[in-house]
Structure formats: C-alpha cells, structure tokens
C-alpha cells in the first residue's frame, strides 16, 4: 500500500476550494457588469445635474479627513494667504454641510506658518436616476 501524503492532499483540497471561490467571483462580476450596463448605457449623462426639475437644489456633502501632517514652515506671506483662503473655503464647506476630521495634527503655536498635509476629500449626493 502506498503511503498517504497529507501535505499533497491539503494542497489539492485548497486548490479545489480556490477554484470554486474564483467561479463565484466570476458570476458576481457578470452581475455587476450587467448593472453598470443597465445604469450607464441607457442614456445616462454625467454632465446633467441630478434633479427632476430646474428649481431643485443638489445637496452635496463634503468630508475632509486630514491624514498626515508633513511639514510646518514658518513664513509670513503664506500664513496670511492660508488664513484668507482657509476662512473662505471653510465658510463655504460649513454652508454646504461638511465635516472635518483631524487624525494627526501637532499643536502649532506660531502665528506665521505654512502647514503641508495629506488629506482625503469625500463627496456624496443623491442621484434619482441611479435607483
């Protein structure tokens, strides 16, 4: 009687399970492909505002997530520019209804500085045509 190689049997079982998993993923991909075709190939135009009538407003929610503080440089000119630009931008974001999340920010006490960061900007809105 030939010896049983358990290691080979385990690899064969894993390969069979992996192939079954790949078949499942392929079927799911076909469904997604049909859904995207149904939504976007039927005359959908991404340039048109997603409203049913001209008088409606599109509510866009913005989320800013500061991911990393890269550098803080002390400069007088950039500090004034950032103060003016950031005040205007945050005033508009608050009017739209956004949230800002700070994940890494070092306490900075100097008045005249430039802060270089990485951030994520998220936007979402409702489009009645994509139901």
Confidence of residue 72 (pLDDT cuts 50, 70, 90): confident
When pLDDT is averaged across residues 23-43 and rounded to a whole number, the result is 72
The pTM (predicted TM-score) of the whole model is 0.42
Q: What is d(CA 63, CA 82) in angstroms, rounded to the nearest whole number?
A: 19
Spatial distance between the Cα atoms of 41 and 45, rounded to a whole number of angstroms: 9
pLDDT tens digits, 82-116: 555 554 444 444 444 444 444 444 555 566 677 78
Q: Of 45-54, 60-69, 100-109, 113-122, which range is least confident?
A: 100-109
d(CA 102, CA 93): 15
* Contacts for 127 with CB less than 8 Å, ≥ 6 apart: 50
pLDDT at residue number 26: 41
């Amino acid at each position: 009687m030939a010896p049983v190689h358990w290691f080979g049997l385990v690899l064969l079982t894993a390969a069979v399970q992996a192939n079954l998993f790949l078949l499942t993923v392929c079927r799911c991909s076909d469904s997604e492909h049909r859904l995207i075709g149904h939504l976007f190939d039927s005359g959908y135009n991404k340039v048109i505002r997603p409203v049913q009538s001209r008088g409606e407003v599109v509510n866009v929610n913005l989320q800013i997530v500061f991911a990393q503080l890269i550098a803080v440089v002390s400069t007088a000119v950039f500090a004034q520019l950032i103060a003016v630009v950031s005040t205007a931008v945050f005033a508009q974001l608050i009017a739209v209804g956004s949230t800002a999340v700070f994940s890494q920010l070092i306490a900075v006490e100097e008045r005249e500085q430039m802060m270089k960061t990485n951030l994520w900007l998220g936007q979402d809105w409702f489009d009645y045509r994509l139901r």
